[in-house]
Chains A and B, each alone.
Chain A
């Protein structure tokens, strides 16, 4: 085990703590009799000595004050804030003693002990200074054994071992494998036949089956280097990057969504995927590939535009991990994201499980916690996120040249200026609106009480739920009423119950959509759109008329809940409509409020008096000379008061009672209410003094007068709080409490409705909006990518036990000490240190990076790594079966300038690779796991290979490269209660281009062992489970592919059909018994089908489809020899 130099902790014991407290003999006696015995019997076993648990010792009073990893244990005089007390009470996360709780008497005694100030006799404190500080130390000291661990030694070119069977050798690699076999007394399997080799090599490099033509060509090619030529042909195919890029994506835990808690779309993750595929096809040097993924943005930019932007795409590696985006604790969120980056980095490039050192020194490998935080500091200094809000936004960057960037910056600046003008205009309007709201408060009150419930007015006009059902579009002259769920075209959900109980509403799931209505307008003119909806949070949408956007950010009011009882009419926007047909659309990329219905109302000024016109907010607003949009706010507010808050609203309670009185005998009917108001009971009990006062001074004779009194009070209160001193404010405090609530309708809203703008200002507003739209239009388009950039450089403190709440010593950023030594060689200067980290990883002095990659390549060819734990080269990983061979391959990788294609060539041209999978009793007896490679490992096709092959043989594979198939917009929810994907997987593109949705992986790939895309995995498992069989038997993928395949076979001459089917699927001709077997089968299935009454031709097609399904399901097809 590694030993860490213990640091002294004397510095922790600051002056005040060192000063000895004086305690009375009585208190000391209490300690000795009640406390010390408990400490000795219950605590000391763990919490004493040089290396106490959690670095907390109970041997000295000072140790309680400084505490351990969880902070101070006791605060003298304050048991409530003492961790010790909560721990022994078993109240909080920390429960001590862990097994048996102390008795109640003991707890009382300890509480008293803390209250007394922790009395303790005078004792020496020397030993306190020696408490183990491993988690807090910076410089590590490693044992010789740790330093000599094989994986930390630089790979060196090994000598070729001596072997006997010289003729078997085809490549240097074979020396190493053969030597091991000969040592074990094993003989290598014979060379595989050419048919097997071309199938093996083609799947291996391209992930696709060879075509019958390719097989034939290869069989006929008798040049001595035919096989080498084959490998070269395969390596130059663009399909190579798609196959080997996918291997890398497993390691890079690639996905197109966040996963974890809030599963949002990573729309631009594909940029990183395409970068990986391109890099593979270009045979980019592995060292460069590594560096770009860590710090491509900090490397000198390439002259080639694509290579230049690829450097930026590359850092997507650090960005595409899963993140807890709705973590309420932003500090924890950041540290968790950094941890994910450090852990993935360690596993991917070095085969080290760095994550283990987050909470404590790595238990098995020489990675002290200090090293973890030294690396974590690099990522702390890197910007991965825009913010740590709930739900947090990750960083994205434009992929542009400097020139274009300058142009974009210029336009952005202009947009900013224009927006500033908008803001200035807005504040002007705010002033106007404020006046309107305050000084017409009486009219709003009167109008609201007059209207009451707008729907009851509508009912009087026959516009009941029943009527709506019969005719969802009701038209009077200048009035259209439309049920939201009667949309002509929509991808939103109609909710008939629950949120839509009794009314039917239109709502969206996790993401947006549209609803389009064909409307016929009888009279031209200016219309107000009034909408009835419910919303607990503001969810605004856009309105389009005949395909043109008319308004954005409308329907954003909060009504209290999503349920029908808070459905509210709101006057939203004005629309100029010509007579005739129009398409009106509600359109939003985001979630919708719950929309019940809407009305279009011709503005009254423009229409001839029409008595039959149904009532509306617009009509009432006109009557009372107030704003229709604010009127809906008042209506809603009074409605909620009516139902739930009347008791608790002393301010408006009187109004609600008085406004319920019939107007004809107001003075008589109001008298008892007014008297009650002045008394100490009922209304009077709660009413603030100012309310009593205004009614006492001038008893109102009509409701209009009451409204005026209220308006004055509101205006006065507002004035007092804006301009007067505290004593004046105190008078109005109760009223102010009410009217300053955000939902109080006389408060100026955050967004001012267009209808509240005076005409000239409205024109300015429109013009500014237009300017911004034009500027945005003119801004050059650019692609975006996920990635990271530089943040503020900062070292991190060691987080004790991984907790961001208990911090230890700050550690400077640097590389791993076990590899770099105690003195940093790659010094971090000004920036985050990512560039230095990248250079360190890619430098030839790094013993792990090339070795880990050479081993990965071997694993992906042979199904098992030379180090079988490909992601873990630590002491808990497996030892290499062929250490010299691994060194040889690592050196070759470095010396071929990091060319993976050169490595493939070496490996695939070896006799080792070309062995057959032939079974051997002796081999099985000596080495059943085939660790020594006495034969080639048979392997099952991966999920991607199954799908891609089945598509190739059936409908054909779409070979277009790159781009994204994800249709969910960036940062929108990919999954909610169900999946928000539409038909992202119903296409013939290669599987690598299908979106990878974390926590909801495409079911075909999921069934076939697609690795969890949340974690790095270079060693995919192969399971054999029933759901995979169900996939072959029942999936539409296999159904459709076999249907296409049988369509392809049927036109052929009957004798050619089976020949073709076997050549396509198995890569060989059928044997004679297979021919007879298949014929019998076709016969059997056809007869079974015909006897049900279907036509012979249909039955034949059906039978051939069935046979194809059997062949595609067969082990011979699914396994590579």
Chain B
């Protein structure tokens, strides 16, 4: 199909699907954030796989990974009382309000984008591949294009965004290309356990802020002062027999 008759993937969506993924109302100066409900996360990696698919992430790289709170992948740990325990923590860029990665980047290739919800974005044009940001990120969410990227399918590009140049760093963009068209990030769309909420942290009436306050939430490595915009909802108490 010739270039000029192609359409944006959001425009091509059937109506009902587009409604499903539409970002709700936002404030005048949105600050994009996310809540992950670890009570509902089942460790299926659907959000990680759709991220890899959406962003044409090469083999060996993952922007989003599901960590097991246990001894190994999908292996429980023994708690202090001797019982077994296991849960999952999805981890991608936390889009911190005080990002250490941005501060150390020598060329400002990593920057806080005030026009797009204060997301932490990377402009690969400016990236010199110094990898200082990777050392600086406490969460280890940045991945590097070490060499020529390899893909599971050869011959054509997968995904909805262009690939990144060799020698540059990349990470979760909060699907900024979808946000611009009023659609939630792919990981939020694709979670089959309905464990992710996306929204405007500056909208105190919005579902995101209200859920965080009602359920209670923590942030990863809160004590490091990075002020992540990703919150992890507290698990409700259990009622054992």
Binding partners A and B: no
